A and B are shown apart, each in its own frame.
Chain A
Amino acid sequence: MEARNMADSVQLRVNGRLIAVPAGTVLAAAIAVAGVKQFRRSVSGQPRTPVCGMGVCMECCVTINGQSRQRSCQTLCEPGMEVQTDD
């Protein structure tokens, strides 16, 4: 996060809850900060959270602004984002 950005915060909604994070926060991190324990529910019902952190494993996929299966580890938080996990 750039120094000049530290003061800037971004507001977004995760599972309906409004949160604020510093600008430059990756969405996966914001979701973790919001206390979400499960990004994705696996095919057999296990809770999953990000693993590879680089857009490969797809465990961090969430619904962003209505578009499902988006990689939260490759996405920066933007003001007004609506995020839904499998929680």
Chain B
Amino acid sequence: MTSRIHKFEIVVVGAGPAGLAAACLAAENGQRVGVLDDTPWLGGQIWRGEQHKAAQPGAQQWIKRFRRSGATLLDQTSVIASLRPGELMAEHPSGARKIYFQKLILATGARELLLPFPGWTLPGVMAAGGLQSLAKHGWPVAGKKVVVVGTGPLLLAVADGLKKYGAQVVSTAEQAPLSRVAGFGLKLLAHPGKILQGIGIKSRLMGVPQRFGVWPVRAEGDDQVRSITLTDGRKTWTEECDLLACSFNLVPNVELPLTLNCELRDGFVRVDEWQAASAENIFCAGEPTGIGGADCALVEGQIAGLAAVGRKEQAKPLFAARSKWHQFRAAMLAAFALRPELRRLAADDTIFCRCEDVTFGRVKQFSTWRDMKLQTRCGMGACQGRTCGAAAQVVLGRAMESVRPPVLPARISSLMAISSD
């Protein structure tokens, strides 16, 4: 019988690289640490599957270290709300949880930005990283024709990963022009780990056309996607596929930080040099503070873990590494900036909000996110605006103004379950 009420000195939300690093450092310094994660596995989305099948030495090292650290993992435990200071309401498949903390470290990660274009709701059109994660856990890709479109280093990593699972990768289409990506490649020289990763990928992707300055126009199909029409701005052509993997950069998961009154700056959680957020006793590390990748998240997580337990002196030596990753982060942002054409992909009859089936033609009539939501139901469905809200920000420049509890859809019983007094 699992306990329904947990008390920790430090609670970490998210068991990806940032969360694991934070938890290790805090627990190794003698604090009672609890780590909550949505999923049944360790490592977050980026290290998904590492727990069972080692692929990345860095991941293995941290997962082992975490297991020795003394921190407690509460897996499949989704935070749904925090309505009182020092207290989280959470949901586990077996019921409600209440978790008390003195200090909270938010390592909620990021999700892929999905941009609406005609046909993007067809079965088989998937987020690139999502498809790769599912493939690691048995999603059938062997023998399937896959086109990978979008932007960023993730495209090649996904193409490589899918090939490993037996997919036939037809081509990759990077929306950024080669000139910009090549510039980014030079900057990689300062980051040896990334280079090795790059070389490994390249050898496996021999023979797969890698196009630059190319982006999707529309997907077509019947009961599932059959083809994708691509363009380089001058000509358009169509490629057949059974799966279309899309990735247009990452968006930070800031819903929980927002409900905890953490201030944002340019869409990311604002933190100081100790990774402390604006709200008292709350720290934040990894992607919610800026999309920097797993290595950046590891450094930030360690700093957050040390700062949360008052070992600031020990954290200081990590600042140099963090600055290096922040330079990498900035270079990546510039290299893979989205071209303006991607904001104009949706047609008036393209579904914009997938949960409520609201078309782009409907939502574009309203000038703010709230008005859009109230008048068209865009963002009112089960994903709570995570997909269409991020798209509205990019396509229409309309930012979500607030987040309401629960942070994730939750059973009514989880909202009424445990009265602590």
Contacts and interface: CB of A to CB of B under 8 A. Distances in A.
Q: Is chain B in direct contact with chain A in the complex (CB below 8 A)? A: yes
Contacts, number: 123
B381 interface: yes
A29 B121 contact: no
Interface in B28-69: 38-40, 45, 52-53
User: Among the interface residues A3, A22, A43, A44, which one has the most CB atoms of the partner chain B within 10 A?
Assistant: A43
B224 interface: yes
A65 B186 CA distance: 52
User: Among the interface residues A37, A49, A58, which one has the most CB atoms of the partner chain B within 10 A?
Assistant: A58
Given A1-B53, A42-B354, A57-B386, A50 B134 contact: yes
A59 B140 contact: no
Interface string B117-146: 000010111110111111001111000000
Q: How large is the interface on A (under 10, 10 to 19, 20 to 34, 35 or more residues)?
A: 35 or more
Contacts of B382: 58, 61, 69
Given A53-B127, A56-B383, A69-B382, A28 B139 contact: yes
A55 B255 CA distance: 14
A77 to B, nearest CB: 8
A53 B125 CA distance: 12
Interface string A26-59: 1011101100011000111011111111111111
A46 B140 contact: no
Nearest to A73: B134
B120 to A, nearest CB: 9
Contact of A38 (B76, B123, B132, B383): B123
Contacts of A61: 382
A18 interface: no
29 contacts: A29-B137, A29-B138, A29-B140, A33-B138, A37-B123, A42-B357, A48-B123, A49-B123, A51-B114, A51-B125, A51-B127, A51-B354, A52-B111, A52-B130, A53-B134, A53-B139, A54-B112, A54-B129, A56-B387, A57-B383, A58-B355, A58-B382, A58-B383, A69-B382, A73-B130, A74-B39, A75-B93, A76-B40, A76-B137
Given A21-B138, A42-B121, A52-B387, 9 more contacts: A2-B52, A25-B137, A29-B139, A30-B138, A37-B224, A51-B387, A56-B111, A56-B383, A57-B387
